[in-house]
Chains A and B, each alone.
Chain A
Amino acid sequence: MEKEDILTALRTSFPEDVLETSTPLGDAAAVVKPEALAGIMAFLKAEPQAFTMLLDLTCVDHPDRLDRFEMVYHVFALEGARRLRVKASLPAAEPVIGSLAGLWKNAVWLEREAFDMFGVRFEGHPDLRRLFMYDGFEGHPLRKDYPLRGRQPRLPMRPDP
């Protein structure tokens, strides 16, 4: 299966939900509706697409857009070493998207990371907590409006000289 075939298959199977397909710099990429994401991912994981691995899951914050959080998924198929990027934009007010924890096991941690860093919530996640930051940390550090030096110490510290 070539890149174009995958994108064509996506478009034909989900004509309503796939908003855009492209191949920027040679990477196959598709933009989908967030509510259809879980279904599309299940389709991609199944034969004959056979994207057996969820390589990566992350988020990009665009504070100037109405759909502020852009979720970015990378899936990978061993056969032919094919990669596909799937993106979905979530509104700033209520960033919620379906969880992939039922499809891939590493999604559990990846989604916890995205929740921790961006505050995106995942519906159906078994255990959505912070992953890297600690209890009592307020805010989501990778959001663009979080200050780079917004330290929240857990101990009283000697102040800056």
Chain B
Amino acid sequence: MTTRLQAQARPESLLLNMGPSHPAMHGTIRIMLELDGERILNSEVEVGYLHRGFEKTCEHRTWFNLLIYTDRLNYVSPLINNLGYVMTVEKLLGLEVPERAQWIRVLMSELSRISDHLTCLAAMAMECGAFTAFLYKMKAREFLWDAIEQTTGARMTTSYIRIGGVRADLHPDFEAVVRRAVDETRKVVKDVRGLLDKNPIFLGRTRDIAVMTPDNALSYGWTGPCLRSTGVAYDVRRAQPYLTYDRLDFEIPVGERGDNFDRYLVRMSEMEQSLRIIEQCLKPLARTVPAPSGIAPAEAIREARRRRPDDPVRLSPNLEGSEKAVYPGIMAGDKRYVLPPKEDAYTTIEGLIAHFKHFMAGHGLRPPKGEAYFAVEGGNGELGYYIVSDGSDRPYRLHLRAPCFHIVSALEELIRGRYVADVIPTFGSMNMIGGELDR
């Protein structure tokens, strides 16, 4: 099999293959390089090694069931991916979400964003040899994931943000855990800045390397931190505020030169802004969540055989105690689109029928015929879903506008004329995520 590069390469130059399984590639991508000594004359990037048929599979799943696939797109920030999909469907349905759920969504997306940036920078630092920074950042990520896990019941693939709201209310101890995570992350950000910001090795490998001009970045469709590092202050959260972002006070950090180091710096500053947003969200979310109460599920089901139980049922995975009491705050009221609380489904006939109607083939959620595009600010930039509905219980077509697809498409141009060693930090600063790029 001859690749384009092999066909075009000059006979005297050396061809070098990086990947798809390469130590400094935190993802499966193949870069073929045409070298003159250490200089890269030309390159060819081949993607698709993690093509999992996301879009095709979604066409065969119901609107509700395909949520789990969105978790696994950008698997470092699954909650934002959930959010993008769910909000596009809500746009199709014209569904309003309760305010508390909106605040929870904002909070959860910011937690995810920080973990995304932490992972990206950790991998980038590690690949440049700064293993300490990697360990520090992974430590901070564990604290964030603890907070996410406590409320959503899962560390990564949460499927927590549901059509109409969120799956469960915040854990009673949530505020304390989040504050701890925020403090730990702040410390880590400060430590990492001390380790890397003036580190001559790191600077040598990132400063003024792979410079992107704003015009070029726009032509490549860059968004997110990578675009902002070139000095263009475009952020979906500010340009088209969704949820409650218009009521929050945060800044959009921008870079000046658009090189690897600026991409690192913008992500670092963005984490600080996200921590600020999280702290602001805690205030409107301060309402105390009722402590677990009620009778055990097995007992409730036994009792329901005889009569309708009066006490609330204590169940659901995270999911401290009964959810019915908090449901109006976190889920839209429309029964056509929203699942009944679990305790209703298990103990009352109306709840059971509502649940059944939701999952019976051809009966579930059916958005009206039409199409919608909606974008949220993902970890890598504008994360947009384009969904076509034909009025049936599964999407006719679902397309993801993956931010890192556009960013990685510029890799060939960015590394042209650079040294082989520059490929690694450049690739690292792009935050290529296989699940999102290849879908």
Q: Do chains A and B touch in the complex (CB under 8 A)?
A: yes
Q: In the complex, what distance in Å separates the CA atom of A144 from the CA atom of B397?
A: 10
* A55, B371: Cβ atoms closer than 8 Å: no
Q: Is B51 interfacial (CB-CB < 8 Å)?
A: yes
* A56, B401: Cβ atoms closer than 8 Å: yes
If the complex has contacts A27-B373, A56-B401, are A132 and B48 also in contact, measured as CB distance less than 8 A? yes
Q: Which of A3-11, A91-99, A100-108 contacts B (4 or more CB under 8 A)?
A: A100-108
> Which A residues, 25 to 74, have Cβ-Cβ distances below 8 Å to chain B?
25, 27, 52-56, 58, 60-61, 72, 74
B439 to chain A, nearest CB (A): 8
* Cβ-defined partner of A74 (8 Å) among B384, B388, B439: B384
* A105, B48: Cβ atoms closer than 8 Å: no
* B409, A109: Cβ atoms closer than 8 Å: yes
Binary per-residue interface labels of chain A (131-148) against chain B in the complex, 1 for a CB within 8 Å, 0 otherwise: 111110000011000101
- Chain A residues near B410 (CB-CB < 8 A): 105-106
> Which B residues, 131 to 173, have Cβ-Cβ distances below 8 Å to chain A?
none
If the complex has contacts A131-B47, A148-B60, are A106 and B373 also in contact, measured as CB distance less than 8 A? no
If the complex has contacts A72-B386, A106-B409, A131-B48, are A142 and B218 also in contact, measured as CB distance less than 8 A? no
- Chain B residues near A78 (CB-CB < 8 A): 218, 232, 234
Which of the listed residues A27, A55, A134 has the most CB atoms from chain B within 10 Å of its own CB?
A: A55
- Chain A residues near B388 (CB-CB < 8 A): 60
Closest to A147 in B: B56
Q: Is A157 interfacial (CB-CB < 8 Å)?
A: no
If the complex has contacts A74-B384, A132-B438, A133-B48, are A27 and B1 also in contact, measured as CB distance less than 8 A? no
Q: Is A83 interfacial (CB-CB < 8 Å)?
A: yes
* Cβ-defined partner of B384 (8 Å) among A24, A56, A61: A56
If the complex has contacts A132-B51, A135-B1, are A85 and B405 also in contact, measured as CB distance less than 8 A? no
Categorize the interface residue count of chain B.
35 or more
Closest to A136 in B: B1
Q: In the complex, what distance in Å separates the CA atom of A108 from the CA atom of B221?
A: 11
Q: In the complex, what distance in Å separates the CA atom of A134 from the CA atom of B30?
A: 13
Q: Is B178 interfacial (CB-CB < 8 Å)?
A: no
Closest to A78 in B: B234
Q: In the complex, what distance in Å separates the CA atom of A108 from the CA atom of B216?
A: 14
Q: In the complex, what distance in Å separates the CA atom of A74 from the CA atom of B88?
A: 15
- Chain B residues near A130 (CB-CB < 8 A): 48
Closest to A72 in B: B386
If the complex has contacts A74-B384, A78-B218, A78-B234, are A58 and B47 also in contact, measured as CB distance less than 8 A? no
* B371, A109: Cβ atoms closer than 8 Å: no
- Chain A residues near B409 (CB-CB < 8 A): 105-106, 108-109
> Which B residues, 207 to 254, have Cβ-Cβ distances below 8 Å to chain A?
216, 218-221, 232, 234, 239-240
* A148, B397: Cβ atoms closer than 8 Å: no
Which of the listed residues A25, A56, A129, A131 has the most CB atoms from chain B within 10 Å of its own CB?
A: A56
Total interface residues on A, CB under 8 Å, equals 36
- Chain B residues near A55 (CB-CB < 8 A): 221, 375, 382, 384, 401
* B221, A60: Cβ atoms closer than 8 Å: no
* Cβ-defined partner of B4 (8 Å) among A61, A127, A141: A127
Q: Is A155 interfacial (CB-CB < 8 Å)?
A: no
Q: In the complex, what distance in Å separates the CA atom of A117 from the CA atom of B373?
A: 20
Q: Is B39 interfacial (CB-CB < 8 Å)?
A: no
Q: Is A1 interfacial (CB-CB < 8 Å)?
A: no
* B56, A105: Cβ atoms closer than 8 Å: no
* Cβ-defined partner of B56 (8 Å) among A52, A56, A81, A141: A141
A128 to chain B, nearest CB (A): 11
If the complex has contacts A25-B92, A81-B240, are A104 and B221 also in contact, measured as CB distance less than 8 A? yes
- Chain B residues near A109 (CB-CB < 8 A): 405-406, 409
If the complex has contacts A74-B384, A105-B409, A132-B48, are A81 and B239 also in contact, measured as CB distance less than 8 A? yes
Q: In the complex, what distance in Å separates the CA atom of A144 from the CA atom of B368?
A: 21
Q: In the complex, what distance in Å separates the CA atom of A160 from the CA atom of B160?
A: 34
* A60, B384: Cβ atoms closer than 8 Å: no
- Chain A residues near B439 (CB-CB < 8 A): 132
- Chain B residues near A141 (CB-CB < 8 A): 53, 56
> Which B residues, 312 to 363, have Cβ-Cβ distances below 8 Å to chain A?
none
Q: Is B291 interfacial (CB-CB < 8 Å)?
A: no
* B397, A60: Cβ atoms closer than 8 Å: yes
Q: In the complex, what distance in Å separates the CA atom of A132 from the CA atom of B4?
A: 15
- Chain A residues near B60 (CB-CB < 8 A): 148
Closest to B407 in A: A106
- Chain A residues near B4 (CB-CB < 8 A): 127, 129
Q: Is B370 interfacial (CB-CB < 8 Å)?
A: yes
What are some 17 contacts across the A-B interface (CB < 8 A)?
A52-B219, A53-B218, A55-B221, A55-B401, A56-B384, A56-B399, A58-B386, A72-B386, A74-B384, A78-B232, A104-B219, A105-B410, A106-B219, A106-B405, A117-B55, A127-B4, A132-B48
**A55-B382, A105-B410, A134-B48 given. 8 additional CB < 8 A pairs?**
A24-B372, A55-B221, A74-B384, A85-B373, A104-B221, A106-B221, A108-B409, A148-B56
